[in-house]
Amino acid sequence: MWSEAINEYLDYLLIERGMAQNTINAYRRDLKQYATIMTAKKVTDPVDVDIEAIYDYLAVLWRDKLASTTIARKIACLRGFYDHLHAKGQIKNNPVAKLDAIKRKQSLPQVLSEQEVDKLLSAPNGDYLGLRDKAMLEVLYATGMRVSEMLSLDIGDIELDAGFVRCRGKGDKERIVPLGNIAKKALEDYLALSRPKLLKKKNNAYFLNNRGDRLSRVGFWKLIKAYTKEAGITKDVSPHTLRHSFATHLLKNGADLRTVQELLGHADIATTQLYTHLSQSRIRQVYREAHPRSVKRENTDI
């Protein structure tokens, strides 16, 4: 049970959260150590852990005289692990939540420039698999959906004539997200030329793999890594990168924060504020255009 839960959580961090591989490797070591200690205490399932077991685990870390920063990382890892189990409905309460939170500097996810997005979205070729991949990439960038939300789409969730996607996010909350014309065209090509070749059995899933089943998160992650390399992009790109780029580019081009919050499906606008890191040149441009005394006036009559 430990191995299955840990691997599923690490896949989530890699594919949904877009965490760096070094961070994933550190979390893997932390969680395996934690699972070994819990198993030695006859706790064979992560859902059976309580706060007392967490204190026993911390006692081992303190006994080994680990640095406070290392212990902080391990606690953060556990908090995220149990938050994930709680979000999936596997536990009622996070046993780590009662520990004092340790504040850490929040790092920004990777973001692509608009030119890099163009290169990435142009990478798939024109065969039937390329048409499918092109459609998925266009949808992610056009809507800012999480990859899990996109891959869970069924036939009927996308209204091409009306130009919107019916998306089910966290907590099974539904939101309506508009589609741009380029994404609509890519989806039309996929439905007409690609999906019929992939459909080998009755399946209501929108995006299919070679076996005719719903495409998995790991499968899509491998695709986006391959297209990133093909596009000549050196940044560490994940499906989350397109979501982050979607929000950043909207804000850069004048969208308001509340609208971006709705499009992303964030319950709290504080989460959306992560995406407000505009370039200094853009900030200066907005200031020059908006502030009445921002421009130095020369040759003005007195």
The SS3 call for residue 166 is: strand
pLDDT tens, position by position, 200-229: 988 999 999 999 999 998 899 999 999 999
Contact 231, 122 (CB under 8 A): yes
Q: Using 50, 70 and 90 to split pLDDT, how confident is the model at 187?
A: very high
pLDDT of residue 73: 84
Q: What per-residue confidence (pLDDT) applies to 214? A: 96
Q: What is the mean pLDDT of residues 166-175?
A: 82
- What's the confidence (pLDDT) of residue 100? 57
Query: In this structure, which topology does domain 114-281 adopt according to CATH?
Result: hpI Integrase; Chain A (1.10.443)
Neighbours of 277 (CB within 10 A): 13
Q: Give me the mean pLDDT over the 11-21 stretch.
A: 86
Question: pLDDT digit string (tens) for 32-79?
Answer: 999 998 888 788 888 888 777 787 788 788 778 788 778 888 888 898
Q: What is the pLDDT of residues 236-287, one digit of tens each?
A: 888 888 998 999 899 888 888 889 888 988 877 767 776 765 444 455 665 6
Regarding predicted confidence, which is higher, 173 or 99? 173
Give catalytic residue positions: 146, 170, 240, 243, 266, 275
228, amino acid identity: T
| CATH topology agreement for domains 2-87 and 114-281 | no
Q: Which residue has the higher pLDDT, 60 or 136?
A: 136
CA dist 269 and 134 (Å) reads: 31
Report the distance separating Cα 124 and Cα 114, nearest Å: 17
Which CATH number applies to 2-87? 1.10.150
pLDDT at residue number 301:
43
* Residue ranges of domains in the chain: 2-87, 114-281
Q: Which long-range contacts (CB under 8 A, 24 or more apart) does 271-279 make?
A: 272/247, 274/106, 274/108, 274/109, 275/244, 275/247, 275/248, 275/251, 276/251, 277/108, 277/248, 278/248, 278/251, 278/252, 279/252
